[in-house]
Chain A
Amino acid sequence: MIRARGLEKRYGDKRVLRGVGFEVAPDGFLLVTGPNGSGKTTLLRLCAGLAVPTAGELHVPFERGRIGYIGHEPLVYRELTALENLDLYGRLYRVVERRERTGMLLERFGLWDARNERADSYSRGMLQRLALCRALLHDPDLLVLDEPYSGLDEEGAALLDRELEEARSSAAFVVATHDPARIDRLASSKLALA
């Protein structure tokens, strides 16, 4: 159970989050909405463990290796190929049957044919798909997704829809999005940031 109470995050003088509280069950799906600058990205970074709260409580009972994260950057090395990137992450996350899993994910996101091309030759949509492969590679128990649909074309978005539906019952989700209508049906709870 992920628990937050009176969560505050301040960067120097700027208070980005104030008095945020929520709960997410191990199979829950928290949908985070709000205008630009409302702190969605900061909140998700806190959940993923990339930042620590300035005040309040945040309890995320998942080890680092069990969390999958999508941020604004795809977090892949541009000079490496998709295969090399996923191989690196696979090693760092101790993914069992690394090669098979990498191949499977690349195929599911339609990147298998481009697997040996450097990421700097990828389009924005392809990079986002690669980022999704990276986030799902280690079969995480918690998925923290910051605007996962951004950059995806219709086909990519459909692929992501399918992945989310399939993983819905086996993981907890904290998802920030500008387009809540798309995944509204999956959400078990919502949080609107001012």
Chain B
Amino acid sequence: MSTSLRNNRLPALALLAFALVVSSIALVFFYAPVDADGLNQKIFYFHVGIALTAYACFAWGGWKALRVLWKRDDDADLESYVAIHQGVIFGALTLVTGSIWARYRWGHWWEWHEDQLVLFLVLFLFYSAYFMLRFSVPPGPRRANLSAVYALFGVALVPVSILAIRLSERFIHPVAFDRGGPNMAGSQFFTFCVSWAALLTLAALLYHVELAGKRIDVRLRELREALR
């Protein structure tokens, strides 16, 4: 496994991420048409992308978790952990951007009828517990197994929670609110795609950087042990 940061991929990835992030910001503020909602709507270009990126991170974490259990792949535990870590970061950002958007749209910092927001709150709680689990079990194959099983529970929880949240609206908020979110024209869609690509690349970059860092830690510890 490569611990070297001089691995060619990372600088190239960083450059790509930078380019995409700059372009997407430019597109969002100078190219995409200003909507009826005004400036607030612009945050949606990032909010949705951040949410989708968080899902992608959790899915990747779940895939690696499956490899831990199924193929007894040692590396996969660390990869799963880092992916979920990124997922939680992006999840928290989803809550923050969503909250800002809700404040300017509805007037409060939180809206229970925003399904996406509620779902992310539940997922945030769930994956935070993942970290609590990890920190309270000594490192080893046991911890890898428990983390992997829990991560897979998370994957199953997503569709079930979506359904649950929708079902809950019938007895929590009988009044129908119009669902937020833009219907996108061509130029808006293009801007959205670029910003989503930027976010995914950024997530991939952070993932690889953190992974490399953690692998160096592991290697360092192994070397220290071997010297004893």
When the two chains form their complex, are residues B225 and A12 in contact, meaning their CB atoms are under 8 A apart?
no
In the complex, B107 has a CB within 8 A of chain A: no
Q: A12-B139, A51-B141, A52-B141 are in contact. List 14 more A-B contacts (CB 8 A).
A: A10-B140, A10-B225, A11-B138, A11-B139, A11-B140, A12-B138, A12-B140, A13-B139, A13-B221, A13-B224, A13-B225, A14-B225, A15-B225, A15-B228
A12–B77 Cα distance when bound, in Å, is 13
9 smallest beta-carbon distances between A and B, as pairs:
A12-B139, A11-B140, A13-B221, A15-B225, A12-B138, A12-B140, A52-B141, A11-B138, A13-B225
Minimum CB–CB distance for A152 against chain B, Å: 31
A52–B74 Cα distance when bound, in Å, is 13
Complex A-B: 17 CB contacts under 8 Å: A10-B140, A10-B225, A11-B138, A11-B139, A11-B140, A12-B138, A12-B139, A12-B140, A13-B139, A13-B221, A13-B224, A13-B225, A14-B225, A15-B225, A15-B228, A51-B141, A52-B141
Q: Which residues of A contact B (CB under 8 A)?
A: 10-15, 51-52
Interface residues of B in 184-228 (CB under 8 A from A): 221, 224-225, 228
By beta carbon, the residue of chain A nearest B138 is A12
By beta carbon, the residue of chain B nearest A15 is B225
Query: In the assembled complex, which residues on chain B have CB atoms less than 8 Å from the CB atom of A10?
Result: 140, 225
By beta carbon, the residue of chain B nearest A12 is B139
Q: Which of B139, B140, B221, B225 has the most CB atoms of chain A within a 10 A radius of its CB?
A: B140
A10–B224 Cα distance when bound, in Å, is 13
Interface residues of B in 141-194 (CB under 8 A from A): 141
Query: In the assembled complex, which residues on chain B have CB atoms less than 8 Å from the CB atom of A11?
Result: 138-140
Interface size class, chain B: under 10
A11–B140 Cα distance when bound, in Å, is 5
A2–B138 Cα distance when bound, in Å, is 29
A15–B139 Cα distance when bound, in Å, is 12
Query: In the assembled complex, which residues on chain A have CB atoms less than 8 Å from the CB atom of B228?
Result: 15
Minimum CB–CB distance for A13 against chain B, Å: 5
A13–B223 Cα distance when bound, in Å, is 10
Minimum CB–CB distance for A86 against chain B, Å: 29
Minimum CB–CB distance for A60 against chain B, Å: 17
Minimum CB–CB distance for A139 against chain B, Å: 31
A169–B228 Cα distance when bound, in Å, is 41
A63–B56 Cα distance when bound, in Å, is 41
A161–B183 Cα distance when bound, in Å, is 83
Minimum CB–CB distance for A77 against chain B, Å: 23
A136–B99 Cα distance when bound, in Å, is 64
A14–B224 Cα distance when bound, in Å, is 11
A51–B141 Cα distance when bound, in Å, is 9
Query: In the assembled complex, which residues on chain A have CB atoms less than 8 Å from the CB atom of B140?
Result: 10-12
By beta carbon, the residue of chain A nearest B218 is A13
A14–B221 Cα distance when bound, in Å, is 10
Query: In the assembled complex, which residues on chain B have CB atoms less than 8 Å from the CB atom of A14?
Result: 225
A13–B217 Cα distance when bound, in Å, is 11
By beta carbon, the residue of chain B nearest A14 is B225
A15–B225 Cα distance when bound, in Å, is 7
A43–B139 Cα distance when bound, in Å, is 19
By beta carbon, the residue of chain B nearest A51 is B141
Minimum CB–CB distance for B142 against chain A, Å: 9
Query: In the assembled complex, which residues on chain B have CB atoms less than 8 Å from the CB atom of A15?
Result: 225, 228
By beta carbon, the residue of chain A nearest B140 is A11
A181–B75 Cα distance when bound, in Å, is 45
Query: In the assembled complex, which residues on chain A have CB atoms less than 8 Å from the CB atom of B139?
Result: 11-13
Interface 0/1 of B52-83, CB less than 8 Å to A = 00000000000000000000000000000000
Minimum CB–CB distance for A7 against chain B, Å: 15
Query: In the assembled complex, which residues on chain A have CB atoms less than 8 Å from the CB atom of B138?
Result: 11-12
